[in-house]
Structure 1
Amino acid sequence: SVMGVSGAGKSTLAAGLAARLGLERVELDALNWLPGWRDLHTEDPQAFIDRVEAATRGERWITDGNYIICQDLVWSRATDVIWLDYPLSVSMPRLLRRTLDRAVTGRELWAGTGNRERFTRWFDKDHPVWFTLRHRTRANARREAWFADPKWAAVRKHRVTSPKEAGALVERLAALDADGQQA
């Protein structure tokens, strides 16, 4: 399970690990967002949890996303949790580049939803840029508590504070998997 603020690189890291380790990638945003930017985890929380449960039923998968509502479910099935805890000086430029690219290209974010980044959404208080700036400190405190909680002692936890550390972690996890151990 990969988590972190918007723009940290959760999706990129998860996609890379999925390809390298032969894992199914489960993008939690793709399970959550419905056409017209309808937010399933708000509209029908149980339906969202059911989607996550079905997507993580298998043996070899990786999730990316930050949905508290399904965190216990995902973590109870995960072998490893990766927290991309980059400073804003790393994540915010990435987030700004990503949202600008999406707004310019107009590409659909999640297949079949029709949801596209629009420049007008940048003024929405829940746009990822503003959301990250408002909630980062509180979200990081929550993640620290989860990492320290004895309930999750069996899960290998990796707090990564730089892209260089992320690269080294990918190499370590790939080496573990190549040795026939569960990554």
Structure 2
Amino acid sequence: MKTAVIGYSGCGKSTLARFLGEKHHTEVLHLDCVHWLPEWQERRHEEEANIVCQFMNRNSSWIIEGNYTGLLYDRRLEEADRIIMMCFNRFACLFRVMKRLYRYRGKTRESMTPGCPEKLDLEFLIWILGKGRDRRQRNNYRQVREKYRDKTIVIRNQRQLTAYMRRETI
């Protein structure tokens, strides 16, 4: 089974991917770990794409979590057996990011590159509340839902996420 987990920042993509990886004994690739080097330095695009390509080629089953449309996005969606799209509202995402900040303050979470401690700066706040939800991104998600209708699962809130995770354990 190949699963792509995409969606807005703060929806819980990493947590869901880790949960699915444990339940299905499948290797998970967190794209934040691919994109970021320690101290919040960005990795070169060619190196990122190479890492993702190698991961996909090496594994017959995988879970890839994150958007990063420049990182083999079309290939990931095409090869995925299921696409889980997490589309919580902006305020739920902000609340979840605040909880994450409190939990990991001064530490690096498991789905992030070591040396990138949890933070919430103005740029990320603007991304969560607006820029990451612009017309281009909304159109992108709409196109994914239309093109991959038969394999896309849309999760819009915590209740739906809890129900989905419960079904996965049966």
Q: TM-score range by the shorter chain?
A: 0.7 to 0.9
**Equivalent residue for 1:87?**
89
- The 1-side partners of 2:121 and 2:102 are apart by 10
Q: Superposed, which structure 2 residues align to 1:163-182 within 5 Å?
A: 163-173=158-168
Matched, 1:34 2:33: no
Q: Superposed, which structure 2 residues align to 1:53-132 within 5 Å?
A: 53-57=53-57, 58-70=59-71, 71-103=73-105, 106-109=106-109, 110-111=112-113, 113-118=114-119, 122-123=121-122, 125=123, 127=124, 129-132=125-128
From the CA coordinates, give the structure whose radius of gyration is larger: 1
User: Is the CA contact 1:53–1:73 (under 8 Å) kept in the aligned structure 2?
Assistant: no
- Structure 1's unaligned 5+ residue stretches are 176-183
**Equivalent residue for 1:133?**
129
Q: Residue by residue, what CA displacement relative to the aligned partner does 1:109-167 show, whole Å, maximum 9, x if unpaired?
A: 435x422235xx624x2x2x221212214322321122213xx46x6101111222223
User: Is the CA contact 1:36–1:114 (under 8 Å) kept in the aligned structure 2?
Assistant: yes
Deviation at 1:174, TM superposition (A): 5.2
Number of residue pairs matched by the alignment: 161
For 1:52, the aligned partner's letter is V
Runs of 4+ in 1 over 6 A off after TM superposition: none
Matched, 1:8 2:11: yes
Q: Give the root-mean-square deviation of aligned CA atoms.
A: 2.1
Q: Any idea what SS the aligned residue of 1:6 has?
A: coil
- The 2-side partners of 1:52 and 1:9 are apart by 21
How high is the sequence identity, in percent, across the aligned residues? 23
- The 2-side partners of 1:39 and 1:96 are apart by 23
Q: Residue by residue, what CA displacement relative to the aligned partner does 1:43-92 show, whole Å, maximum 9, x if unpaired?
A: x2221111111122211211111111121121122110001111223221
User: What is the TM-score with the length of structure 1 in the denominator?
Assistant: 0.78
- The 2-side partners of 1:143 and 1:49 are apart by 21
**Equivalent residue for 1:181?**
none
